[in-house]
A and B are shown apart, each in its own frame.
Chain A
């Protein structure tokens, strides 16, 4: 069975600094997708970034980038120039190609300090 592990329950970072959230997953599949979702205090989940497993190039969305290591089954999220609005719970999620069911990690609560 696929699993997603986020080993950092809580993290904090100073405003304008860079922080990396870790995520590892376990699967025997070769084709899949990985996601990072953000859940701010308002509770509404928002997609931050998506990575297709068949792409070697790491995905980037403005200040957010990933370090995708397929062999190591690692998918970390780097937030550069952290802003107060980045304070949220961050969930890593995995989904096999051809299926519909996300497997979510347990989340990392990130607090950006002024």
Chain B
């Protein structure tokens, strides 16, 4: 693994189903983030994690949950998917949770909820 990986690459999901998007980084970064990218809206922060064992809410957290059991993994769960959650989801990480740090992004997961 080099950098950040996300799985799956894309997914079509029926409304009401539960879905977990996976994110793994091998850079030993402390901070991790989940964004959604929607046309005309740029990227919006869903949840973040300062370090293993801690998480926080971003700009658009409703309908999503995260966990950070270890440094490398930061899964994003949609408990009951709705069509408005159709989006491209990006996981990112940075050395620490600080404004000057560059964020490194994964390749994204395209999710379609029908």
B62 part of interface (Cβ distance < 8 Å) = no
**Known pairs A100-B48, A107-B42; A95 contacts B99 (CB<8 A):** yes
Question: B107–A47 contact, CB under 8 A?
Answer: no
Q: Is B90 among interface residues, defined by CB-CB distance under 8 A?
A: yes
A42 to chain B: which residues have CB within 8 Å?
A: 107
Q: Give complex CA distance A93, B50 in Å.
A: 20
- Tell me the nearest residue of chain A to B102, going by C-beta: A47
Interfacial chain A residues near B90, Cβ < 8 Å: 45
Interface extent on B, as a size class? 20 to 34
Instruction: Given the known inter-chain contacts A44-B107, A45-B90, A100-B31, please indicate yes or no for A105 contacting B42, CB distance below 8 A.
Output: yes
Interface of B is mostly: loop
CA A91 to CA B92, docked complex, whole Å: 15
Contacts of A35 in B (CB 8 A): 102
**74-114 of chain A: CB within 8 A of chain B:** 91, 95-102, 104-107
Question: Interface range on chain A: under 10, 10 to 19, 20 to 34, or 35 or more?
Answer: 20 to 34
Contact across chains for A101 and B59 when beta carbons are under 8 A apart? yes
Q: Name the distance in Å between A6's Cβ and chain B's nearest Cβ.
A: 8
The CA of A10 and the CA of B108, in the complex, are separated in Å by 22
Instruction: For the complex, give the distance between the alpha carbons of A43 and B9 in Å.
Output: 11
User: CB-CB < 8 A to A33: which residues of B?
Assistant: 99-100
- Determine the chain B residues whose CB is within 8 A of the CB of A47 once the complex forms: 102-103
**Which residues from chain A contact B27 at a C-beta distance below 8 Å?**
none
Q: Sorted from nearest, which 9 A-B pairs have the closest CB atoms?
A: A104-B42, A45-B105, A95-B99, A104-B43, A43-B108, A100-B97, A106-B42, A44-B107, A47-B102
Which residues of B approach A to under 8 Å, CB–CB? 31, 40-45, 48, 50, 58-59, 88, 90, 92, 97-100, 102-103, 105-108
Chain A residues with CB under 8 Å of chain B are 4, 32-33, 35, 37, 42-47, 50, 52, 91, 95-102, 104-107
